[in-house]
Structures are given as structure tokens and as C-alpha cells.
Amino acid sequence: MNVPLSGPVVIGKATEIAQLMNVNFTPTPIWVEKFKQRRGITFRVISGEAAAAPKDEAQNWASNALKKKILNEYSPEDVYNADETGLFFQCLPDKTLALKDETCTGGKKSKSRLTVMPATNMDGSHKLPALVIGKAKNPRAFKHAKTLPVCYRSNKKAWMTSVLFKEWLKKLDRQMVTQKQKIAMVVDNCPAHPKVKDLKAIELIFLPPNTTSILQPCDQGIIKSFKQIYRKLMVRSYLLHVEEQIKGRRKDEVYTVNVLDALYRIKEAWSNVKQQCIANCFRHAGFVKEPEESETIESDIVSVNQEGDSLDTDNYDNLFSRLNDLIPLSATSQAYLAIDDDLAASEVLTTEDIVNSVVKRDVDNEEEGEEDEEEMPPPPPTVADAREAIKSLRLFIQSQSNAEDELNQIANLQDYIEEVSVTKCRQTSITNFFKKM
């Protein structure tokens, strides 16, 4: 919290902790001196230049730890960065007022948000699957789902905790061991990112405190690009829904987005963040070996304008304008993109949390979340239904121009569905055989 540490501050906090632990303890100035000696703490006068300290520390870290060690020991494809961001996954541009300036600390509005942690390497050649954290352990939308598009975890506040981070990192470590690849994983210094022991293929590197706005590659535009693409996908889907309602093709039903819908949209948005955007953001954070490599950063770092891609700024603005012509919107196109910029994404240790961890109560706040309020999804289609659906899709795709890649994807889907169909028929035959015996 950047509160200067002093004798009275230490005494006040020690008194508060003692009361919470029901311990009869009154800290004195002598106790403070002994506490300082045990912990190696020195109180100093803060000069007028203190505000420049994070910038100086960032420059020192970039010059030494980054350039002399990390970039010398690892190639660009082996240097990764991960960071969390909060996402109001259901938020529509005509429903923004209730969420404006919301930070969601303490679990407020946790049903309305997800935490997403994208991670990628320095040259953008390998984006790890996004980790998504929600409130409900088993959302109703998951009822018939045996495969999810991303890795999903849960806790009652829908944010990153030290337990989830350790689990994620150790799983990644096992994957890297299998691939015989050693990597550096750079993360910010916060309670949700603890030191993790016994990593075999990952060197976990922490950024200096209060320097993420300068040194964190994900904060230079990677996360912003991901969230802008997610919002664009939301606007496009909502616009189609409203237009179909107006044309009478759809009943007057409310447009909803459940957790599973959001997971697919998160996967699509993350996959559409450009490799060049990622590489530029790493460079902007100082992840370059030589000064001459720090050329002017291209403008697509923090923009949805992705040349050669359908997810460009003009397209987004056009969709937003079309939607605004049909229904009154409570936000501008730019305000909608920034609706969850200040959302808390990881645990913040309160005094109560510290006490609980000491007395072994509620160690990491990993209780299962409540049941969600989403509608139960319909049962999945049968194999026969899927085969008919793929035929309809093929007829539609082949009627479009320049859709060769899409036709190839349809062929792959058709092959998969037919393989599932054959397998099910074989299993049914074997079951019937044993029933006759």
C-alpha cells in the first residue's frame, strides 16, 4: 500500500494483530527496536526524491537482472511473462452504469466477473492457454461439458490466490520438463505470487515492487489488446441478437452470456492477439539485449487495429455505432473498452488474512463458490444431429467466397464427428452382445 513504515505504524499494527489473535500484548518502543534488529529493518527519513524511487529501481533491474542475467541466459522464446486481469464477462454496452469504476475488491460483484491470466513468451511465438478463475466450481453451463476451451478454476472471490498460482506453475513446470525446455517466468511481486519450491524447468523471477507499470510486458498493451478484442466480440454478438429480434427471427428473449460462453470468447480473443503486438510490448518494457534494438514501437501495441485482421478499430467502431442506432447505450465505445480496467485480479492480504494464515484458519480462502444462477443448458445434440449440422455448415461455407481454410476446418470436424459415431456404434454393439449372453 506504499505506507511509510515508522515506529508508531509498527506499534499500531502489532496491537491490531494481537487483538485479533486474542493475545495479551502491548508493544513498547523497546520491543520495536528489538523487532527492527530481528528483521533487519532501518527507519530512514524520506526525501523529496522518493517518488522517483520506483523508476530508478526499474532502471536498475532492467540494466542488471534483465539484461545481464535473464536475456543472457535465455533466448527470447524461453522468456515468459504472466499477469492477471479482471473481466466483467457479461457486461454489455447498455448495462455499464452499475459497473463503472468498480474495483471488485473483497469479492464484491464476484458473480459478474472472472479473473483471466494470459501468459506468453517474449517473441510472441507461444501463448500459453489462458487460466480463468470464476466464482462457481461447477457452473450450470458446464453440465454436459467434458472438455473446456481454457483452464478453469474457482474460489469464492473469483480471483488469483497463491494456491491457484502454485498449482498453475507446477503444472507448467511438468510440461516444460516433458518438452525438455527451461524457461524464465517473470511475474509481478504480490501476495498471490509466492515463491514456489522444487521447480525443475522454470526459473521464477519477480519484478521489483511498484514497477509493473514500467517493466511488466503484459501491462504495456498485451492485456489491453486481449480485452479490446473480447469487447469487440461481445458487441458483434449482441448486435446480431438485437438485429434478429427486430427482424422477428428471434423471440423477445434477453441476451445472456454464461460462464461457458465467456470461456470460448476468452479463448478466441487471446488467440487473436497478434504476435507482433506481444513482441512490441516486451520491447517497450525493456526486454531487449542492446539499446539499438529499442526502435520506435509500432502503434498496434495498445490498439485493436490489427492490420489484415477482422478485429480492427474501424470495424469495432462501426459495430458499436450500428448497435447504438438500434438501442440506447449507456457508454461510449471507448468507455466500454475500459469498463474493467481497475478491477482487482488477485488477493490482497488484509490484517485478518495474515492472522488467519498464522493460526491455520482459512489459509488461502479456497472455499468453493456458491452455485451460480445461470439457466440449465439443454442436453447436447445426438451424433446424428451433429452429422446433419455439419452438412448444413458445409453448405453455408461453400457458398461464401475465399473460404478454403474454413472448408478445411469443416472437413476436420466432419472427420471427428464420424469417428465419434463409429466408436459409439462399436460400443453399442459390444454392449448388446454381452446383454444376449
Phi-psi region of 297 (alpha: psi -120 to 50; beta: other; left: phi over 0): beta
Cα 52 to Cα 87: distance, rounded to the nearest angstrom = 31
CA distances from 67 to 212, 278, 291 (A): 17, 19, 10
Domain that holds residue 140: 53-337
Residue 39 located in a structural domain:
yes
Cα 323 to Cα 264: distance, rounded to the nearest angstrom = 22
Residue 362 located in a structural domain:
no
Place of cell 480471483: 159
The residue among 126, 123, 125, 104 whose CA lies nearest residue 115 is 104
Q: Provide the pLDDT for residue 15.
A: 83
Q: Provide the pLDDT for residue 94.
A: 85
28 plus 97 within the same structural domain: no
> 363 with 347: CB under 8 angstroms?
no
Domain count, the chain: 3
Residue-wise pLDDT for 267-310, tens only, equals 999 999 999 999 999 999 999 976 554 444 444 444 444 433 33
Residue 358 located in a structural domain:
no
61 plus 40 within the same structural domain: no
CB-neighbour burial class of residue 385 (10 A; exposed 0-12, middle 13-18, buried 19+): exposed
* DSSP code for 341: T
- Neighbouring residues of 368: CB distance < 8 A, sequence distance ≥ 6: 137, 154, 155, 156
pLDDT band at 358 (very low <50, low <70, confident <90, very high): low
Q: What is the pTM of this model?
A: 0.78
Residue-wise pLDDT for 83-118, tens only, equals 999 999 999 998 765 445 455 554 455 568 999 999
Cα 430 to Cα 231: distance, rounded to the nearest angstrom = 49
Residue 350 located in a structural domain:
no
- The least confident of 122-131, 216-225, 356-365 is 356-365
170 plus 21 within the same structural domain: no
Neighbours of 288 (CB within 10 A): 19
39 plus 76 within the same structural domain: no
Cα 434 to Cα 427: distance, rounded to the nearest angstrom = 11
- Choose one of 303, 337, 371: the last residue of a domain: 337
133 plus 233 within the same structural domain: yes
- Choose one of 273, 304, 337: the last residue of a domain: 337
Residue 265 located in a structural domain:
yes
Phi-psi region of 75 (alpha: psi -120 to 50; beta: other; left: phi over 0): beta
31 plus 99 within the same structural domain: no
199 plus 89 within the same structural domain: yes
69 plus 30 within the same structural domain: no
417 plus 281 within the same structural domain: no
Q: Provide the pLDDT for residue 437.
A: 55
Residue 188 located in a structural domain:
yes
The residue among 116, 63, 49 whose CA lies nearest residue 345 is 116
40 plus 149 within the same structural domain: no
Q: Provide the pLDDT for residue 216.
A: 96
Termini Cα distance of the chain: 72
Residue 325 located in a structural domain:
yes
Could you tell me the maximum CA-CA distance found in the chain, to the nearest angstrom?
A: 89
Residue 348 located in a structural domain:
no
64 plus 187 within the same structural domain: yes
pLDDT band at 378 (very low <50, low <70, confident <90, very high): confident
> 227 with 85: CB under 8 angstroms?
yes
Cα 295 to Cα 283: distance, rounded to the nearest angstrom = 9
240 plus 183 within the same structural domain: yes
